[in-house]
Amino acid sequence: MSSPVLPEETEVQLDAVSRRLALTNDVAVRFARMVEIRLLEDRVIDLFGEGLIPGTTHTCQGQEAVAVGIAGATRPDDVVVCTYRGHGMALALGVTPDALLGEILGRQIGCMGGIGGSMHLSDSSVGLLPTMAIVGAGIPIAAGSALTAQVLGSDRISVSVFGDGSTNIGGFHEGLNLAAIWRLPVIFVCENNLYGEYSRIDRTTPIEDLALRAAGYAIPSETVDGQDVDAVLSVIERAAARAREGEGPTFIEAKTYRYAGHSRSDKAAYRPAGELDSWLERDPVRLYGEKLIANGTLDEEGIERIWAEQRDALEATLERVLASPRASTADMFTRVQASGS
């Protein structure tokens, strides 16, 4: 059995929208994208370790299926508001590895011109609003972008992606309440990875099933296995259909796990022994690869080839990015405000 033809992402540099559409239309591309996210996140940790990047970063190894599921079930003209743990979401939506690594490394080819950094990504061509480095901040913003669609009579929807830690901040409750009373076309996706920064959910939150919180706002909710990309995809598809039909918001809790610590300096020593290992047994990238083999989409060789291609592509990206110019002094001044005064 031969592997399907994948877009030649290494030779021909696809733009963000093409990358998004490829992922929407081709399950093998979905798998390749999950691999791309995993490899890039691992490499980012190395780059920080090598001292190439100052500051901090928040990686999402273990959560790839949620990002790819959301991207696969929505349109490039829909709006996504996510968090500072946003590399995976950005790549899934279509942001190119060059633009992402460029941003993380402070280069002008970065998706924000190198003045944002790891926590601040944005690409309006695929609906990615600026990622917010304030926990919970994106939730009311997503309600607002859904308001725009409602007022202008468009069928664009908004997706708000946030972690379990966000569900204790006021903006979460106020954003859900507003979306509910105004029946806004928005999907709230809570990535429950069990940890809010360094603290386990049972230390900060009186419930483990966060979908319960939606009931207080009369918002329908679904809980989904966040390690299963197809499960995520179909739950988002249902919620998106509801939103486009004018039936209002949906709350989705994706049960998932963050392999790394909260940020680069966090070794996650607070995790109970064996917890990470038990989640690794249900690794979303491996699970999806096995599923594609089982249903005959790919064979072992095809899976290996995708890993190898993505490794090569990442190194080529890194080489290009490191050779490209850093953000300049002028870049610091030119985007402070839209008007001249």
Min dist CB 261 to other proteins, Å, is: 25
Min dist CB 214 to other proteins, Å, is: 15
Nearer to other proteins, 163 or 171 (CB): 171
Site for other proteins in 272-311 (CB under 8 A): none
Min dist CB 119 to other proteins, Å, is: 10
Site for other proteins in 94-123 (CB under 8 A): 111-113, 115-116, 120, 122
Q: Is 330 in the site for other proteins (CB under 8 A)?
A: no
Selected binder of other proteins within 21, 42, 52, 182 (CB under 8 A): 182
The region of 143-151, 242-250, 258-266, 304-312 touching other proteins under the rule CB under 8 A is 143-151
Q: Is 137 in the site for other proteins (CB under 8 A)?
A: yes
Site for other proteins in 66-95 (CB under 8 A): 79, 81
CA-to-CA distance for 255 and 175, rounded, in angstroms?
21
Contact 178, 140 (CB under 8 A): yes
Min dist CB 41 to other proteins, Å, is: 22
Which bin fits 225, alpha (ψ -120 to 50), beta or left (φ > 0)?
A: beta
Selected binder of other proteins within 151, 269, 323, 330 (CB under 8 A): 151
CA-to-CA distance for 71 and 78, rounded, in angstroms?
10
Q: Is 170 in the site for other proteins (CB under 8 A)?
A: yes
Selected binder of other proteins within 100, 104, 143, 219 (CB under 8 A): 143
Nearer to other proteins, 101 or 146 (CB): 146
Q: Is 324 in the site for other proteins (CB under 8 A)?
A: no
Q: Is 325 in the site for other proteins (CB under 8 A)?
A: no
The region of 53-61, 171-179, 220-228, 294-302 touching other proteins under the rule CB under 8 A is 171-179
Min dist CB 321 to other proteins, Å, is: 16
**Count of residues interacting with other proteins (CB under 8 A):** 46
Selected binder of other proteins within 72, 97, 144, 249 (CB under 8 A): 144
Amino acid at 82: C
Binding site for other proteins (CB under 8 A): 79, 81, 111-113, 115-116, 120, 122, 124, 129-130, 132, 134, 137, 139-152, 158, 170-171, 173-175, 177-178, 181-182, 334-339, 341
